[in-house]
Chain A
């Protein structure tokens, strides 16, 4: 497993359009405070320290050997609070709690950092920015796809590899949000897939309905209103299905949780039996997974890939701190 970096950086957009740089460094504590903040103005530094300490309440593990020094290079206007998310993320990155992409741009503020909740953002960032609040990043656990333990809507994310000819290969997420219904309704009509064409909507509905049937609980169907969102609007193929089904199971509280993200590829002709079939693109997807896997990630591949996996694939992933399994069917054990 990779050790935590000694320094990390994060950016945030100010209302004036300027970019604010947040840098965090780690050094031996030597009897000093756990967090030290430097900012152009003392009140701001105090608020930064408060935000970081509150956000650390959502972590189970603390380490008093290190001091984290966080600095910002510009003074936002007194009412501006969008820098808060960037500061929290920089603090997590420097301690190795979260590993983000190289250039993180984050805007968001919260009144309840101790719950890990992010209430909103004031400035819209460009494509790829992390924006706090409903519709974007509403909860810190969402960074690895976990449901918010305090929200009334349970939503979980899983990632699937998209093969787009080599350089443009990427991991795309699918998010399943389930909202409890007072009255039972027909399963397929309560599943909404905004932003996708009719064929994809139908496929998603059928896969989810069949996979829920696999639970085998008579009369328990139709308890949920479901919304499914994808990270990218346009893509081909059905290899997202395993990720979709597992995200749905996590959202409904019926699956073990991975420590990091859940990355899965697989489809099925028989979700009602929980069966996982093979998909195309073994070599490029494995290369992508090795490139993008982070510590704590759980990778699930179809059983048919087991014998064809590249040499040392599982060992390399384990060295990164991720784990991989080839599955024949979904379900516990």
Chain B
């Protein structure tokens, strides 16, 4: 669609699959062993699984990309709080398949957020970010001296979050002391040195010249964010229909309104204007482009929040539903604001 994901993929080392890499792109004509599922992403971003033959020979049409992934299990240490680096959660997960679903969440993750190789570290960092964000916003609770009931509630929430957001099924999760591998004292010393080193450099007034790399980078970030909006909004709507069964006529109306607004957003994302053009044939200045990039990235962050909210909606008690619907309204309003900002060629007058 955007020409961004058409770059030729480098030849990857297939041996790391299941160790340091979760998914690797495969080229047409490759043969993949049967234990590795193959996801094919077509030019419009929709996905399908390659047939379950004994050994699959990947045949791709024009514009298609294929990924082979290893279902795991993988073990990673997630930090629940950035401010507490000496405790982690040792989490073991697999990439499970939901036999009832027509589209697997992990396939969507591959198609909308991954370009090229998906390393285990990248996946763990993304999961850690989602976890930290939920803990900060109050979607999940893991307070000091958590009791066993609080821990169990947290575990359920974490399972739902990682499944909804990434399609990962958590097998096991235990708190661990990372004091032996991560040294907070050492990190603070390094931070102090950094601050000291930054001070003399900051004294003369530096003229910031945007390097070529900085100009290119926002365009890629924007393209990724818009791709996510394009691919994920329809799936979010689908998820909202399934996860949030309304408890009263009032909530049913609310849900209908939300779905309608998401629908409009989705249509808008399909017709998002090019980053660099204010009007056909009329270029847009760099500051305005950067403003647009800011909006599209915030919209992508709202998508993350929306997935986390779906995870909370699933199995929420009727008493909680009211506040969760309010949260959904907030997220949809934020999405609308940011999509409108991304579309506008000029900043709104304040």
Q: State the A residues within 8 Å of B (CB).
A: 1, 33, 35-36, 49, 60-65, 146-147, 149-154, 179-182, 215, 217, 220, 223-224, 246, 249-250, 252-259, 262, 296, 298, 300, 323, 325, 327, 330-333
* Distance of A256 Cα from B188 Cα, bound (Å): 18
- A181 CB → nearest B CB, Å: 7
Interface size of B by Cβ–Cβ distance < 8 Å? 47
Contact A256 B146 (CB under 8 A): yes
Decide if A332 touches B175 in the complex (CB within 8 Å).
yes
27 CB-based A-B contacts, threshold 8 Å: A60-B133, A60-B136, A62-B298, A62-B334, A63-B334, A64-B330, A64-B336, A65-B329, A151-B191, A152-B189, A152-B195, A153-B188, A180-B188, A215-B179, A246-B144, A250-B84, A253-B83, A253-B87, A254-B179, A256-B146, A257-B83, A258-B143, A259-B136, A262-B144, A300-B145, A325-B145, A333-B175
Residue ID in chain B nearest A217 by CB atoms: B179
Flag if A33 contacts B84 (CB, 8 Å). no
| A254 lies within 8 A of B84 (CB) | yes
Q: Judge if B348 is at the interface, Cβ distance under 8 Å.
A: yes
Known: A149-B82, A256-B146; 17 extra A-B contacts, CB below 8 A, are: A1-B323, A33-B348, A35-B350, A62-B334, A65-B333, A152-B191, A223-B185, A252-B86, A253-B84, A256-B80, A256-B81, A256-B144, A258-B144, A259-B141, A325-B143, A325-B146, A332-B146
From the candidates B83, B144, B148, B191, name the one contacting A300 in the complex (CB within 8 A). Answer: B144
CA distance A218 to B298 in the complex (A): 45
| Shortest Cβ gap from A324 to chain B (Å) | 10
Name the CB-closest residue of B to A328: B145
Given the contacts A256-B143, A327-B145, A154 and B87 also touching, CB distance less than 8 Å: no
Q: Which of A152, A249, A257, A259 lies in contact with B192, CB distance below 8 A? A: A152
* Chain A-chain B contacts (Cβ-Cβ < 8 Å), number: 124
**Given the complex, which residues of B lie within 8 Å of A182, measured CB to CB?**
189
Which residue of chain B is the closest to A224 with respect to CB atoms?
A: B185
Is B180 engaged at the interface, CB distance under 8 Å to the other chain? yes
* A150 CA / B87 CA spacing, docked (Å): 19
- Find chain B residues with CB under 8 A from A256 CB: 80-81, 84, 87, 142-144, 146
User: Given A65-B329, A152-B192, are A252 and B350 also a contact pair (CB < 8 Å)?
Assistant: no
A residues less than 8 Å from B199 (CB atoms): none
Complex Cα spacing A203 to B271, Å: 68
Kindly list chain A residues whose C-beta atoms are within 8 Å of the C-beta of B175. 332-333
CB distance from A41 to the nearest CB of B (A): 17
Bound complex: CA of A35 vs CA of B349, how far in Å? 12
